Structures are given as C-alpha cells and as structure tokens.
Structure 1
C-alpha cells in the first residue's frame, strides 16, 4: 500500500446521510445516491420517504431536527388557528414534491410550547427550515403549495 493510499479518507463516508424515520424516529444511515430509491427504516422497515408530513412531538423532534442530515421544514401551527388549518393541505401537497431533498414536519405549538419557545415562534403559521438544529430560513403566514415549494427551493440554494 502506498503512502498516499494509506492516508486517504474513505470517500463513501462523506456520501452517507443520517435520516430519521418518519414512523419511529430512529436514525438510519443512507447513501446519498440511494435517497430516491425508496430506502426503508432499518428498525421498523417503513419507507423513509412516503411523501407525507411528519407529525413532530417532543419525543421525535430531536431525531428529525438535530440528528438528521436532511433539512426539515417545520410548520409551527395550532388547532385553533384558522390560517394554519387553511395551509395544512397545501403543506401536505408540498411534501411529495420536496422529498427526499428535505423532510416536512408539523409541530403543534400548543402541545409543544417548549420547542416553539426554543425557536422564538411569535406568530403562526410560521415555517422554519432547520438542519442539525440550526435555522436556515424562516417565513410566516399561510401560503399556497407553489409558494411553499418555491420558498424551500430558494432556501436550499442559499444554504
């Protein structure tokens, strides 16, 4: 083995992403090249990308927002909020258009006030893109599906 071979880092390790399961929140190692090939959770065997919004709770939030390498776009909402309810179907329609580049999640600010407080949520609906716990982008107000998709794509370009 030559010195240059011995000192080289494995290239594949940079291409492995940690992805939280939308069902049980277990963190899975997935090669970047296989994100669009219907990977399944190693624990529960559910698809990692089903084109659906993930309901986030205090128990699952950290796996998706802190541990996963994928950005998560979170809709901070509450049941009593009319604009939040109006935007829900638009946000759900955006999920299959944006996966597997990002995960979409919803967090009920009434059920999880500590998490909403951690991110300084002052009005709802608010949408925040987070990667590894760091805020990448934020917007407020109800939006149609096309505006949600465009906002996410622009935020990914800036990141």
Structure 2
C-alpha cells in the first residue's frame, strides 16, 4: 500500500487522502471535485480553522487579520504571493479575528496581523506585524526547518 497524507479541501471542508507519490498540483477533492491546491489562501471561520489544523498532515500557516486593520489589508496581497510559493508544502489560511473572537482569545492574539505556523495541531512559530511576501516565505521555511 502506498503512503498517503491528509489535506482538507478549501471548498467543501472534506478531508482527502492524497498519495505521496502523485503530483499534488493536480489533486482534486473526492467530494466536490475542486482543486485541492489553488495557490491562494483559504478564508476560514472557527470551525474551518479547527478542521484544517486537526486534519491536515501538512503544516498550516494562518494569517489572523481584521478588515478594519490597515497593515492587514496591506499585507493581504503579499500573503497571496507567499501562498503561490509555499503551496503544496504548506496550507495557508486567513482567519478574521472579528468573526472568531473566542478563537482569537484562545490563540492569545494580542495584535494583528499575526501569523501562526502550525504543525500537528500545535503552534510552532508566531510573528506579529506585517511582512512582505519574501519575508513571509523565509519566516515560514525557517520555522519549519527549526521545528
């Protein structure tokens, strides 16, 4: 039997098993048939966040932001560029802190934007403040190497 890894679909939220030997760029969800990896961050609510963090075998990078936050809005296109570079090795999520205040509190979010790098359901790195795309990619890769 071949080795597989799990990844959550950004469209329907179903967990998919992907064969490790197949190219992830061509992977489609078994339930909704949408592409698993699009090179774009996935907007999640509290439930979606929990599902991705608990069920994805690849690391998850979360941008905790708010629509009224100027630095958050300025960093959004940079985060999208970083997604194109980091996927499929890392799943990128966007969590609106205004829409999930309880989760933001449990995650101890003191300021936004905050990036959380998670693996195996636990936080392995955190950065508060806006960054450009190159810095986001370098920071995420350093966090993964150091963990």
What's the TM-score, normalizing by structure 2?
0.95
Report how far residue 35 of structure 1 moved: 4.6
The equivalent of 2:34 in structure 1 is 46
Residue pairs, 1:85-100, within 5 angstroms = 85-100=73-88
**Distance in structure 2 (CA, Å) of the matches to 1:119 and 1:82:** 22
**Distance in structure 2 (CA, Å) of the matches to 1:36 and 1:120:** 33
The equivalent of 2:140 in structure 1 is 152
Match of 2:111 among 88, 112, 123: 123
Matched-pair contact (CA < 8 Å) for 1:35–1:100? no
Report how far residue 150 of structure 1 moved: 0.4
Kindly tell me the number of residue pairs found equivalent between the two proteins: 147
Matched-pair contact (CA < 8 Å) for 2:4–2:17? yes
Structure 1 alignment gaps of length 5 or more: 1-9
What's the TM-score, normalizing by structure 1?
0.88
The equivalent of 1:17 in structure 2 is 5
Matched-pair contact (CA < 8 Å) for 1:66–1:131? no
